[in-house]
Structure 1
Amino acid sequence: MKPILRKVDAGNDYTFRIREDILPYLYNHWHYHPEAELTFIRRSSGTRLVGDHMERFGDGDLVLLGPNLPHMWRNDDLYFHPGSRHKSESIAVHFLPECLGKTFLHIPEMKPVRLLLEDARRGIRLTGGLHDRIRHKMEVILHAKGVYRVTSLLEMLYDIACSNEKLFLSSLGFTQSHSFDRVDKINEIYHYTFNNFTQPVSIEEAARSAHISPHSFCRYFKTRTSKTYIRFLTEIRVGHACKLILENSMSIAQVCYASGFNNLSNFNRRFKEITGKTPLEYYRIFSDRKTG
């Protein structure tokens, strides 16, 4: 299954689309679209993939994605359980960079925004005071009408462009070297891995899920994602371990095995490799923040 080209309909009365979604779970397919996207996750949790970057997300997640950047928000398993009462709430603004005119971004006053949208091709997460300001403005633009929709979007983009409180997501070296028109198995591999990472997973099984020979699988996956499959699998397991540690309902040893690791020393080593901290250090930092 190839990365899905998702069509965004702004309607006849608007140059760009603002959408509020309150759903059982977020759109969980690896996809892309020609529109840039500013998305605020009001309420939800899971794993966010942007280009070759992956990390946990939770309430308040706020990112800017450039045009044609593959991405996916994958909710935690509990959102998919039959009868689950969990809901995902989000606000998304989709806009073509040239929606206000092909020459508009090239006037001198718009240079910071033009450069921002070029940087956004890697994906950008907003932090600190910038996050708080844009989070509030996302709630406001949801109800804006007429010209105020346009001015609100421009204000947000200019604020983001002029701030240092933002983090790049996908690596600088990430490129779309393959054609989206070609058959792509990444979605099958992602879904297989998310559904099985707590169990032993072999290269042969992962390759079989996408109907690729084991001989070709590793090279194929790295070409498509700029990382090895083992690294990807480890990141998913560590991300899940972080979630379990934050829930504070298991011991570190229990978290290790519940996340798909087969021994504690390997878990500690891989966890620190990904997060920069040992599981115990991660737990202590979280505990201090809760009691501080």
Structure 2
Amino acid sequence: MKAPLQKSRIPDNKAFVIREMNDPYFDKHWHAHSEYQLVAILRGSGTRYIGDHIKPFKEGDTVLTGPGLPHVWRSDNAYFNPENGLDTHGIVIYFPENFLGDGSLQKEEFEEIAKLLSYSARGLEIKGETKEKVIHMMKEMVNMQGVPSIVMLLQILHLLAESTDLIPITQ
């Protein structure tokens, strides 16, 4: 298997990055990065490759991946032909383990979130009611800045940490 391209998405002056993607197709390159990634597919379809796992994706696919876990959401071939008039839409959040400061996740208050992030090393598919809530929160978060955006990210991570709607993706 081809080695993944190494990417970093967070500027030095930011705690994390949220990006709304409106493109003809999703990034087609097999890659990994040092940050955690939470992604929600709002429009589009194709094949999702995460680590050693391959699965079709469509609208609603929502996943948390840990640092270094190679992945790609490869749009169906029809998306690469402009004549088809297809496009994709998604929201992605990139954040490092220390987005709240060095050692913050070792604090008792963050114990459940730290466990969640540890489990994300295998990739976690988010299902059910939790998925719907997370997508709604991510849509709200796209227009937030400053402290409110950090609070919303913590609320999302707290929701995920308490959820039973998470399915490990890789072995």
Bin the TM-score by the shorter chain.
Answer: over 0.9
The structure having more radius of gyration, on CA atoms, is: 1
CA displacement 1:13-63 (0-9 Å, x = unmatched): x21101011000000111000000000111010000111111110001100
Q: Counterpart amino acid of 2:61?
A: D
Inter-partner Cα distance in structure 1 for 2:98 and 2:34: 11
List alignment gaps of at least 5 residues for structure 2. none
Q: How many residues align?
A: 170
1:90 aligns to what?
Answer: 90
The answer to whether structure 1 residue 149 and structure 2 residue 158 are counterparts is no
CA distance in structure 1 between the aligned counterparts of 2:3 and 2:133, rounded to whole angstroms: 36
In the TM superposition, what are the counterparts of 1:17-36 in structure 2 within 5 Å? 17-36=17-36
State how 1:158-177 maps to structure 2 within 5 Å: 158-171=158-171
Give per-residue Cα distances to partners, 1:147-177, cap 9 Å, x unaligned.
0111100110010011101111011xxxxxx
Aligned to 1:157, what secondary structure does the other structure show? helix
1:171-222 CA deviation, whole Å, 9 max, x = no partner?
Answer: 1xxxxxxxxxxxxxxxxxxxxxxxxxxxxxxxxxxxxxxxxxxxxxxxxxxx
- Return the offset for 1:82: 4.0
Counterpart for residue 54 of structure 2:
54
Code of the aligned partner of 2:165: E
Deviation at 1:84? Answer: 2.5
Residues 25 and 87 in structure 2, CA contact (< 8 A), matched pair in contact too: yes
Name the CA distance, whole Å, in 2 between partners of 1:74 and 1:23: 13
TM-score, length of structure 1 as denominator length: 0.57
Alpha-carbon shift at residue 89 of structure 1 (Å): 0.4
Q: Secondary structure at the match of 1:68?
A: coil
Deviations 1:92-129 (A, max 9, x none): 00000112112110111100000100100000011111
CA distance in 2 between counterparts of 1:53 and 1:131 reads 20
TM alignment of 1:137-216, pairs within 5 A: 137-171=137-171
Answering whether residue 90 of structure 2 is matched by residue 79 of structure 1, we say no
Q: Secondary structure at the match of 1:63?
A: strand
Pairwise CA distance, 1:7? 2.1
Code of the aligned partner of 1:10: P
- State the 4+ residue runs in structure 1 displaced beyond 3 angstroms: none
Structure number with the bigger relative contact order (C-alpha 8 A, sep ≥ 6) is: 2
Task: Look up the match of 2:4.
Answer: 3
Q: Percent of pairs identical after alignment? A: 35
Contact 2:113 2:161 in 1 (8 A): yes
Structure 1 position 76, deviation (Å): 0.6
Code of the aligned partner of 1:148: P
RMSD: 1.1
